[in-house]
């Protein structure tokens, strides 16, 4: 370090030491909680031995990955993770934008506040409680759907927790139900920020309600839609563990359509004690997830630079 650099450094410290001190605890936490596990990812290349720990275990190269990608599971968990997320992004965005636009059109202030509060209730409850709600509807012998809908209509009861076919629909509904209130707040907030003069100008030009939505509201939302979709695409290799593990109640018969990378890693680590495959799947998730965020951002930087994350 040359002397001027050192001087500047000392000057910065003496003027800003308090700010650096403030930053320290948070950075320490990130270092431990986020950065140390990054180094620990090397466990995916080792034959893990609990006695020896991550660093002492024997290096086995790509063995764990070979085993993982030979199984059918590798394809299932990739397909499920990507597929569900794609459905969630498409339907979730459409629903949230539609709700936000509708909410913006409601004229009564008090009604708007009530709708906003009520649609946020599903966001407030835990995934465990959501699984109770789903169970109340789907339980085979006591569930609401079998007892109060199918039976009176003369249909046979469905054994929901052992039939995998309806689950893709169920999981999409549960995800939309839980999340739309929160994401529509973000879109609604953007709509409120649109200058009222645009709407007035549109009215003067003879635009009706639908045309106002089409030519003022939707373009005004574009930026937010891109940002939120980008964030979601960046997380497309990650799934909501609770939704895929707890809502289908960890039922083996449903694994084909409920197993995602996160549930697979969890089961390997905590239940089947298959650390090698589990850590390989985790590494696969971290790496591909990272590439996807970078790719998503690169695309946005091309299409609409002002909306890129960095």
Partner 1 sequence: MVEAKKGFQIVFHIAFILLSLACLLPFALLIISSITEETALIRYGYTFFPKEFSFDAYKYLLVDSTAILRGYGISIMTTVIGTVANLTLTTLLAYPLSRKDLPGRNTIAFVVFFTMLFNGGLVPSYMMWTQTFHIKNTFAALIVPNLMMGAFYVIMMRTYFTANVPDAVIEAARIDGAGEGRILLRIVLPMSIPIVATLALLVGLQYWNDWLNGLYYVNNDNLFSIQVLLYKMLMSAEFLKSSASTALPMGITLPSTGIRMAVAVLGSLPMLIVYPFFQRYFVKGIVIGAVKG
Residues between 142 and 171 that touch partner 1 (CB under 8 A): 142-144, 146-148, 161
State which of residues 81, 93, 131, 175 lies at the interface with partner 1 (CB under 8 A): 131
State the minimum distance, in angstroms, from the CB of residue 45 to partner 1: 12
User: DSSP per residue over 181-223, as a string?
Assistant: HHHHHHHHHHHHTS-HHHHHHHHHTT--HHHHIIIIIHHHHHH
Segments of 14-64 assigned E as strands = 46-47, 58-59
d(CA 267, CA 286): 17
Shorter beta-carbon distance to partner 1: residue 79 or 112: 112
CB of 211 to partner 1, least distance (A): 13
Q: Which stretch binds partner 1 (CB under 8 A): 8-16, 72-80, 163-171, 298-306?
A: 8-16
Per CB under 8 A, does 65 bind partner 1? Answer: no
Cα torsion 37, 39, 41, 46 to 10°: value is -130
Q: Specify the residue, 80 or 212, whose C-beta has the smaller distance to partner 1.
A: 212
3-state secondary structure at position 140: coil
**Radius of gyration of the chain measured on its C-alpha atoms:** 25
Which of 96, 99, 171, 230 binds partner 1 (CB under 8 A)? It is 99
Q: Would you count residue 92 as binding partner 1 (CB under 8 A)?
A: no
> Which of 6, 35, 75, 155 contacts partner 1 by CB under 8 A?
35
Residue closer to partner 1, measured from CB, 81 or 190: 190
Sequential DSSP letters for 141-171: TT-HIIIIIITTTTPPPP-GGG--TTHHHHH
Any idea what DSSP says for residue 183?
A: H
Of the pair 80, 285, the CB lying nearest partner 1 is at 285
**Of these, 6, 7, 10, 16, which contacts partner 1 (CB under 8 A)?**
16
Region of 74-82, 137-145, 198-206, 212-220 interacting with partner 1 (CB under 8 A): 137-145
177-196 residues near partner 1, rule: CB under 8 A: 177, 181, 185-186, 188-190, 192-193
The one-character DSSP state at 125 is S
CB 170 within 8 A of CB 85: no
Count residues near partner 1 (CB under 8 A): 101
d(CA 85, CA 168): 11
- Stretch near partner 1 under the rule CB under 8 A, chosen from 35-43, 75-83, 197-205, 298-306: 35-43
Q: HSE-up of 310 (CA within 13 Å, CB side)?
A: 4
Footprint on residues 202-261 left by partner 1 (CB under 8 A): 209, 224, 227, 234, 241-242, 246, 249-251
In angstroms, what is the minimal distance from the CB of 95 to partner 1?
Answer: 9
Close Cβ partners of 231 (under 8 Å, ≥ 6 residues apart): 309
Using CB under 8 A as the binding rule, whether residue 37 contacts partner 1 is answered as: yes
91 part of the interface to partner 1, by CB under 8 A = no
- CA dist., res. 28 & res. 20, Å (int): 12
Residue list 278-297, contact with partner 1 (CB under 8 A)? 278-279, 282-283, 285-286, 289-290, 293-294
Give dist(CA 212, CA 223) in Å, integer: 18
């Amino acid at each position: 370090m040359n002397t001027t650099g050192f001087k500047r450094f000392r000057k910065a410290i003496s003027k800003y030491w308090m700010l650096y001190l403030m930053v320290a605890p948070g950075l320490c936490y990130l270092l431990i909680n986020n950065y140390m596990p990054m180094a620990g990812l090397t466990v995916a290349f080792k034959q893990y031995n609990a006695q020896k720990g991550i660093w002492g275990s024997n290096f086995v190269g790509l063995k764990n990955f070979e085993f993982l990608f030979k199984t059918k599971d590798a394809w299932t968990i990739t397909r499920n993770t990507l597929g569900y997320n794609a459905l969630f992004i498409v339907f979730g965005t459409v629903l949230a934008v539609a709700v936000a636009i509708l909410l913006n059109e409601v004229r009564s202030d008090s009604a708007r506040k009530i709708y906003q509060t009520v649609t946020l209730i599903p966001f407030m409850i835990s995934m465990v409680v959501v699984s109770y709600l789903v169970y109340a509807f789907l339980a085979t012998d006591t569930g609401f759907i079998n007892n109060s809908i199918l039976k009176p209509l003369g249909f046979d009861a469905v054994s929901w927790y052992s039939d995998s076919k309806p689950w893709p629909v169920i999981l999409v509904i549960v995800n939309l139900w839980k999340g739309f209130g929160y994401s529509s707040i973000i879109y609604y907030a953007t709509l409120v920020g649109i200058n009222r003069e645009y709407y007035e100008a549109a009215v003067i030009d003879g635009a009706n309600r639908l045309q106002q939505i089409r030519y003022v509201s939707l373009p005004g939302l574009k930026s937010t839609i891109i940002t939120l979709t980008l964030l979601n695409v960046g997380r497309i290799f990650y799934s909501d563990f609770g939704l895929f593990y707890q809502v289908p109640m960890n039922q083996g018969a449903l694994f084909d359509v409920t197993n995602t990378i996160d549930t697979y890693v969890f089961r390997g680590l905590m239940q089947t004690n298959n650390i090698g495959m589990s850590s390989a799947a985790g590494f696969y998730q971290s790496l591909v997830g990272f590439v996807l965020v970078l790719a998503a951002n690169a695309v946005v930087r091309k299409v609409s630079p002002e909306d890129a994350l960095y």
